A and B are shown apart, each in its own frame.
Chain A
């Protein structure tokens, strides 16, 4: 019965694989027999993904710092100096608040994409962040700023385009010192690359208060069918609870 069940599961997982030969060679042996590439349907992003080449500093696609305004540069300098001086300024994650967008997309923890009727949901292992992306809808007329903002998505060919506004100004864009204000507007272009082994996210970041012009970052994620999200509860035993706005190792 167990064998039959597993065969059925393999079948489900491979339903959309291009050819039988291809699918067989990509099977990972083990308790969870799953194809090592995600389905061949370019619009099927469902499953667990894990960031590649994680960097706590988000550089632009030009490989340099974002095009800061004077204010953006001053805030960056302040944070870099505070960290260098051993008293880093606390960001949202240190308070166990949601990480915000796009910061949550740049985290060294697995994410799981779930596609249902009318919604794409991203469940993040880190700090149980959840992204609700409502498909083929407009943003509401009036939005109360929140940590994760208001996200709507649509398909352009085989690229999922996510538009996010309504973000509060309590989160950062990276872990080093790129911050933003309430005018932040994030547009993500997510698509499968490398024959389904990876996802690419080109993130357009616009906030005239902190950046002279919109800029782009690129993050890729590996298909990780071998991973299941674990429980990450920041609220339990937060040893880095900020004191007077600074993170203090305890």
Chain B
């Protein structure tokens, strides 16, 4: 029972300001999360989230300028020229848009890290459980941002920030700024259903923080396939360099 002894040892060490160094070495290095916190496996999103709505089913509360940008994106998509969309040229979906993609996600868990491997663009997302987030001004903006998380009971709570503003939040084209912060509460609704309650906080783009919700179904026995956009769409990649 490595997970049990790890946690007990860590708790004792924390309380007594001691290390667990004297504990016997583990015969089996594989970490087995407690049942409620075990999200390991391959998951696939339910439903179509190409046009993201709030949990109330409404359009997110876009500021006036952002509403104009969104309208322009929707129009461009309708006209068949969604040049705003970075995935057209094989660039990453960015976060949180990748959470809405209709491709499987594999979850790998360790005591100090939860790793999400997205089949689409073979993109990893690492959530550190032993780090606090850096300050926004200290982060070089990234497509996937930086993520830190912790457990609240059986809910994985993740905060992310440090994004570039090249991506949209959905296929339709919801914009965001580099100030965006994303808060997630991820939990299992039942053994085969994972829920992610996603809250977007970006005062430069939205009048208020808003939340949306996605669920994923367990895909027993499924393995991630190799998805290489730059190989399947070389012209698109070359055009977007």
Question: Which of A's residues lie within 8 Å of B, judged by CB?
Answer: 3-5, 7-12, 14-20, 22-24, 32, 39-41, 43-46, 95-98, 112, 114-117, 119, 121, 123, 128-130, 132, 134, 146-148, 170, 228-229, 231, 233-239, 241
Contacts and interface: CB of A to CB of B under 8 A. Distances in A.
Contacts of A239: 241
Interface string B192-224: 000000000000000000000000000000011
Contacts of A128: 121-124
A22 B25 CA distance: 14
Given A14-B19, A233-B91, A235-B237, A7 B14 contact: yes
Given A5-B14, A32-B131, A39-B25, A11 B226 contact: no
Interface residues of B, number: 60
Given A11-B14, A22-B21, A23-B19, 11 more contacts: A12-B6, A23-B21, A24-B19, A32-B131, A41-B27, A44-B29, A128-B123, A229-B124, A235-B230, A235-B240, A236-B143
15 contacts: A7-B14, A9-B10, A14-B19, A15-B5, A15-B9, A24-B19, A41-B26, A96-B230, A97-B231, A115-B29, A117-B30, A128-B124, A229-B124, A231-B143, A241-B238
Contact of B32 (A17, A32, A44, A117): A117
Contacts of A96: 90, 230, 237
Nearest to A135: B30
Contact of B229 (A40, A116, A129, A235): A235
Contacts of A112: 126
Given A16-B25, A43-B29, A11 B108 contact: no
Nearest to A10: B19
Interface of B: 5-6, 9-15, 17-23, 25-32, 40, 89-92, 108-113, 115, 117, 121-124, 126, 128, 130-131, 142-144, 223-224, 226, 228-231, 234, 237-238, 240-241
A123 B25 contact: no
B30 A115 contact: yes
Contacts of B226: 98, 146-148
Contacts of B110: 46, 114, 116
B241 A41 contact: no
Contacts of A45: 29
B111 A12 contact: yes
B20 A14 contact: yes
B206 to A, nearest CB: 25
Contacts of B238: 241
A115 B113 CA distance: 12
Contacts of A134: 223
B115 A121 contact: yes
Contacts of A10: 13, 19
Residue from A3, A5, A8, A115 having most chain B Cβ neighbours under 10 A: A8
Contacts of A15: 5-6, 9, 20-21, 23, 26
A229 B171 CA distance: 28
Given A11-B18, A32-B131, A117 B40 contact: yes
Contact of A116 (B17, B40, B228, B241): B40
Contact of A39 (B12, B29, B115, B237): B29
Contacts of A14: 19-21
B111 to A, nearest CB: 6
Given A7-B19, A132-B224, A233 B143 contact: yes
Nearest to B111: A12
Contacts of A235: 89-92, 121, 229-230, 237, 240
Given A16-B23, A128-B123, A95 B13 contact: no
Nearest to B231: A97
Contact of A41 (B29, B121, B131): B29
A130 B124 contact: yes
A128 B124 CA distance: 7
Residue from A17, A41, A98, A130 having most chain B Cβ neighbours under 10 A: A130
Contacts of B15: 4
Q: Which 5 pairs, one residue from A and one from B, show the smallest C-beta to C-beta distance?
A: A11-B13, A44-B29, A8-B14, A23-B21, A11-B20
